[in-house]
Structure 1
Amino acid sequence: MAKDPQRRTEWTEAATDYVLDHGLIGLSLRPLAAELGTSDRMLLYHFGSKDELVAAVLRASNDRAVAQLAALPPSPDLRSAVGDLWAAVQAEPGDRCTRIYVEAAALGLFGREPYASVVREANAVWTTALVTHLVRSGVDRALAARAADVVDAAFMGFQLDLPLDVDPAARARAVADLADAVAALA
C-alpha cells in the first residue's frame, strides 16, 4: 500500500486539533488514533515514527499561529503593534498554539528530539512573522528585527505566567510597559 500524502495532511491537521485540546506532554498514539478513526499502526506507517508525527503537529500548530499574525491588519505604529500582537497571541487559536509551543520548548531544553529541532524552526518562522507585521506597520526592518526579539522574549515570559493567575490589570500594565519600552527603541 502506497502512502497517501493527502491522508497524512488530513491526519496532521486532525492530530493538531487533538493536541491543541489535550496537550503535547503525555501524548499517546492509541487515544489519538482512536480520535482520528484509525490505528496507531497506520499513523506510524504514514508518519514513520511518533516523533515525526509530533514534529508535523508542532509545525502545523506554529503555521496556524503565524497565519493569525499574517491576517492582522497593519498597526498604526510600533507601540500599537505590540498591543495588537499580544491580542493576537491571546486569541484563538494563538493562545493554544503558544501553550503547545511552550510544552515543546520545555522538552527541547533538555535536547529531546524532535522538540529541540522543531522549536528552532518554529522560532525562525515566528520571528519572521513578527518582523513582517512590524514592517507592514511602517517600522524600519532593522528596528523591526530588534523589536521582534524583545517582544518575543517578553511574550514568552507573559505566557509562562498565565497559569499563575496573574492579575489581568497587572498583565495589561506589563504589556503597556513593554509597548512603551519597544517604542522607545525608535
Structure 2
Amino acid sequence: MPSAGQSELLEAAYRYALAHGLADLSLRPLAEAIGSSTRVLMFLFGSKDGLVRALLERARVHEPAVLAQLRQEDNPVGLATAAERVWTWLAAGEHCPLLRLWAEACTRSLVEPEGPWAGFAEVTVEDWLNLLAACPPEPQRDAEAGSVRRTAAMPVLRGVLLDLLATDDEPRVTAAVHHQLALRRSDDD
C-alpha cells in the first residue's frame, strides 16, 4: 500500500499526465510541476517506468467508474442499456483527457510490449468485459452468447471513442452509437 506522500504525488502526477500525456514524459518538468524532485520520484517509484506503470494503474481505476456504478444497481440492465450509459460517460467532455491517456497507453502497449505499457491494452479489455458482464440479468450474463454480445459491444464503444477523440464531433458519433445499439437491443434487453 502506498504511503500518504506517495499517493499524493501519484495523484498530482496523474493530473499532470492527463494534461500532458505520457509519450514524452520527462521527470524533471513533471517533478517541477507537481512540487517534487526527480530524486523523490525515483525513490518512491523506482524508475520512470515504475512511475508510468503506477500512472497506468491509476488510469485503470478511473476509467471504468461508470461501469462500477452500473454493477451496484439493484435491477440489472441489458447490455445495450449499459453500453448507452457507458457511452454517455465516455462522450462527456470532461473525460476527454482520461480517454486520450487511455488511447495513448493502449497504442503504446501494442507497439512497445516489453515496456512499462506491457499488457495495458489487454488488461483494459478484460476490465471492461468483466464489468459489462455484471450488467445484464443472470441468464444473459452466464450464457456463451452473452460473452459474444459483450465482446461485440466493445469495438462499437472503443471504435467510436477513437472517432470522437479524433474529430470532437460528439453529435454524429453519438448518433452512430445509438444506431448500433438499437440494432442490438432486441437481443440484449
Give the TM-score band, short-chain normalised. 0.7 to 0.9
- How many Å separate the matches in 2 of 1:166 and 1:153? 18
Pairing 1:125–2:123 present = no
Amino acid at match of 1:17: R
Tell me the SS of whatever aligns to 1:57.
helix
Residue number among 57, 60, 63 corresponding to 1:62 in the alignment: 60
Amino acid at match of 1:141: D
Aligned length: 182
Cα distance, 1:5 vs structure 2: 2.5
Cα distance, 1:134 vs structure 2: 3.6
Cα distance, 1:53 vs structure 2: 0.6
Tell me the SS of whatever aligns to 1:115.
coil
Given that residues 16 and 60 in structure 1 are in contact (C-alpha distance below 8 angstroms), is that contact kept between their aligned partners in structure 2?
yes
Structure 1 gap ranges (5+): none
The aligned residue for residue 25 of structure 1 is 23
The aligned residue for residue 111 of structure 2 is 110
Amino acid at match of 2:7: T
Tell me the SS of whatever aligns to 1:116.
coil
CA RMSD of aligned residues (A): 2.5
Pairing 1:87–2:85 present = no
Amino acid at match of 1:56: A
After superposition, residues 29-178 of structure 1 pair within 5 angstroms as 29-72=27-70, 73=73, 76-91=77-92, 94-112=95-113, 113-135=115-137, 139-142=140-143, 143-165=145-167, 167-178=169-180
Cα distance, 1:49 vs structure 2: 1.0
Amino acid at match of 2:161: Q
- How many Å separate the matches in 2 of 1:23 and 1:167? 22
Cα distance, 1:162 vs structure 2: 1.7
| 1:129-154 CA-partner distances (Å, limit 9, x unpaired) | 22223458x84333443232222212
Query: TM-score normalised to the size of structure 2?
Result: 0.81
CA 1:26–1:8: 2 relative to 1, 3 Å: same
Amino acid at match of 1:123: V
CA 1:65–1:159: 2 relative to 1, 3 Å: same
CA 1:115–1:145: 2 relative to 1, 3 Å: same
Given that residues 64 and 94 in structure 1 are in contact (C-alpha distance below 8 angstroms), is that contact kept between their aligned partners in structure 2?
no
Query: TM-score normalised to the size of structure 1?
Result: 0.82
Given that residues 104 and 115 in structure 1 are in contact (C-alpha distance below 8 angstroms), is that contact kept between their aligned partners in structure 2?
yes
